[in-house]
């Protein structure tokens, strides 16, 4: 007859699984307010394995920022130059790393063009609340980037 349950063992196993399924996330923006908004929206969904980098995503020269990262969330502000964005993504973001761009451009056509690059795009003002769900979602969108 068993007097005590194995709850502690089950809890340890579940915490190991949840730790393995968490993604290391990097948030890149030159704007402190945007960094804070993104970080706090992720914290509400218990996404706390994040690192913030206060730089302009389109001007980063250090490629090592993306090493060992599962998800990059980058603020592109009001940039609408798809060629520049594509070049930065191809140089900076590894194919197996998800990239989510946030910006001020509210054009549906612009968002679709970004999605064709294998990257998710959210309008910063109106779609920020959708970010945690995108981070938690398993996506195959990165496979599109490998064929570019």
pLDDT, averaged per 10 consecutive residues of the chain (148 residues), comes to: 52 43 85 95 92 94 88 95 94 92 95 94 95 84 51
Length of the chain: 148
Cα radius of gyration (the chain): 18
Element containing residue 28 per DSSP (H, E): strand 25-28
**What is the value of pTM for the model shown?**
0.80
Strands 120-123, 98-103: pairing is: parallel
Q: How many CB atoms lie within 10 A of CB 13?
A: 11
User: In this structure, are residues 66 and 98 in contact, taking their beta carbons and an 8 Å threshold?
Assistant: no
Cβ neighbourhood burial of 72 (10 Å; 0-12, 13-18, 19+) = buried
**How many alpha carbons lie under 13 Å from residue 21 in its C-beta half-sphere?**
11
User: In this structure, are residues 32 and 77 in contact, taking their beta carbons and an 8 Å threshold?
Assistant: no
Q: Indicate the SS3 state at residue 16.
A: helix
> What's the pLDDT at 135?
93
Question: What is the distance between the alpha carbons of residues 81 and 20, in angstroms, rounded to a whole number?
Answer: 37
> What's the pLDDT at 79?
94
> What's the pLDDT at 146?
54
């Amino acid at each position: 007859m068993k007097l005590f349950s194995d709850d502690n063992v089950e809890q340890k196993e579940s915490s190991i699984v949840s730790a393995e399924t968490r993604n290391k996330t990097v948030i890149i923006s030159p704007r402190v307010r945007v960094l804070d908004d993104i970080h706090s929206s992720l914290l509400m969904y218990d996404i706390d394995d994040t690192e913030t980098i206060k730089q302009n995503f389109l001007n980063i020269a250090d490629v090592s920022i993306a090493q060992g990262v599962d998800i990059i969330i980058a603020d592109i502000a009001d940039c609408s130059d798809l060629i520049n964005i594509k070049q930065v993504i191809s140089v900076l973001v590894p194919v197996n790393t998800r990239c989510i761009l946030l910006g001020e451009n509210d054009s549906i056509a612009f968002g679709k063009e970004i999605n064709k690059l294998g990257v998710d795009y959210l309008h910063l003002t109106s779609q920020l609340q959708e970010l945690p769900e995108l981070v938690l979602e398993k996506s195959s969108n990165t496979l599109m980037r490998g064929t570019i």
